[in-house]
Structure 1
């Protein structure tokens, strides 16, 4: 896998100091779907050099309400307000709308509320991502789906991957200005997938994948399949205890047999990191699944 060949967009110049109180952080109660569109919106605002006072003169919302919106507090915002902000900040509206709509449903908003919220604020569906974004998606999407499939159901997998590329579209200049676009994109995918993955004691739960492994499909009898499922469950339980990067490496290398060079390109890390991570992860898993036998003490 290679990255797009077009030169990266230079990082935006630091915004000048704003008068007044500094915008506070996103509140801890904001859900992952809400955060998916709010973080790119905040990033673009903070880089724009505009103040809340500037924005309040251009969109139909008071400065205090804009502050609440950008921190994720208060009522979930209507689409017409978000669209107004996107136009002022020059953010592509179509991926922003898809993410906003999904977060609205997760915020328990009704379909009627969602539709009425956008009655007077249509967004064009003809917008297309930048050419290099589309090229990157063609290269990475199938592999991203494989990764997401380990943790999520088919519908959740498709949503998570679609959301990942929508978020990348909104943050594309930021991604291009990062040290490695592949690493930026993988971190976005991982965050999106893990936000939807059940966790037990802080560890990702992916037992369902044990019933859909490559090894399982090649077994003929029910007894063989049951034995393989038991082995897979034991392996996946141990894998959930790995550090994040080692877990990702093992998913790509051991569950799907992806080559080390390809895994290096997907994760945006050096080949040596893949090999070292796989080696350490394999050693840990062997110590958990097949611990060395205890040696008996010598008798006098």
Structure 2
């Protein structure tokens, strides 16, 4: 699959001056699925130049309730009010709805509650509006590679959901992606954050034990004893890989587990070829020092 070599050009837009009371931070208890749609909505509000009072008058909803919604505090919001805000903030409703729905289930809302919230708004909860053409083109270029990366950490269903959510988040934040220093890097950060929120962690490090069972070396063996030895070796390697810094881990996953060339990794991450090679070199040295330590002087013949 071809990956983009140049990001789309950023739009020419100036930051809107803020008036009125400053919006408070997102609540500490907001879950990852809720944050996935809340952060783009907050970004759209901040970019709009509207005050909470102005937004309140437009949607006929209390300013205090809008503030709570935009901070993720209080009760999980019903779809009707989220949709009203989305219309005023010129946000696409379809990807927003899908993310809102997932977050509702994360907040332990029932299917009946979700259905009641969407009654009368079915026209806005169907995939009848295409994403921007440059967003569609970007997705076609990188989706296969994103799936391969996610497969290292997640099972098939979680992998597909994580990548789908990534492109929904990017759709909601597409103007920010285009205005960023590098659209590819912006998108990769969204993918990584989305995958990592679903990846089991041990002592703050992502678990790669799934990948150990899916290595080419292991699949090529038929002798049970050889399989056990190879599995032990793979588990040791992937445990060490989980200790790598973020950028080094991503490069090693893409290079060693996905089999991508340095040039392909560079294009996918939006990073220079020199930085990719440097990260791989430092990661390799660390892994060799952990999995193949030099013999101690006392054991030297």
Counting matched residue pairs gives 296
Number of the residue aligned with 1:268: 270
Q: How far is 1:4 from its partner?
A: 6.5
Deviations 1:270-299 (A, max 9, x none): 00011000000000011111111111399x
Number of the residue aligned with 1:25: 25
Deviations 1:38-86 (A, max 9, x none): 0000001001000111111121420001000000000000001111011
| 1:55 paired to 2:52 | no
3-state DSSP class of the match of 1:58? helix
Number of the residue aligned with 1:180: 182
Number of the residue aligned with 1:202: 204
3-state DSSP class of the match of 1:90? coil
Moved over 3 A (4+): 3-7
Q: Supply the distance in 1 between the matched residues of 2:152 and 2:290 (Cα, whole angstroms).
A: 21
Number of the residue aligned with 2:138: 136
TM-score w.r.t. the length of structure 2 is: 0.95
Q: Supply the distance in 1 between the matched residues of 2:268 and 2:276 (Cα, whole angstroms).
A: 11
| 1:42 paired to 2:39 | no
User: Which blocks of at least 5 consecutive residues in structure 1 are unaligned?
Assistant: none
3-state DSSP class of the match of 2:293? coil
Number of the residue aligned with 2:70: 70
CA contact (8 A) 1:80 1:120 kept: no
Number of the residue aligned with 2:287: 285
3-state DSSP class of the match of 1:291? coil
In the superposition, relative to structure 1, how do residues 51 and 273 fare at CA in structure 2: closer, same or farther (>3 Å)? same
In the superposition, relative to structure 1, how do residues 274 and 184 fare at CA in structure 2: closer, same or farther (>3 Å)? same
CA contact (8 A) 1:3 1:182 kept: no
In the superposition, relative to structure 1, how do residues 170 and 18 fare at CA in structure 2: closer, same or farther (>3 Å)? same
3-state DSSP class of the match of 2:265? helix
| 1:16 paired to 2:38 | no
CA contact (8 A) 1:140 1:266 kept: yes
The Cα RMSD (Å) is 1.5
Q: Supply the distance in 2 between the matched residues of 1:99 and 1:149 (Cα, whole angstroms).
A: 21
CA contact (8 A) 1:3 1:136 kept: no
Number of the residue aligned with 2:251: 249
CA contact (8 A) 2:7 2:183 kept: no
Q: Supply the distance in 2 between the matched residues of 1:137 and 1:4 (Cα, whole angstroms).
A: 14
TM-score w.r.t. the length of structure 1 is: 0.95
3-state DSSP class of the match of 1:141? helix
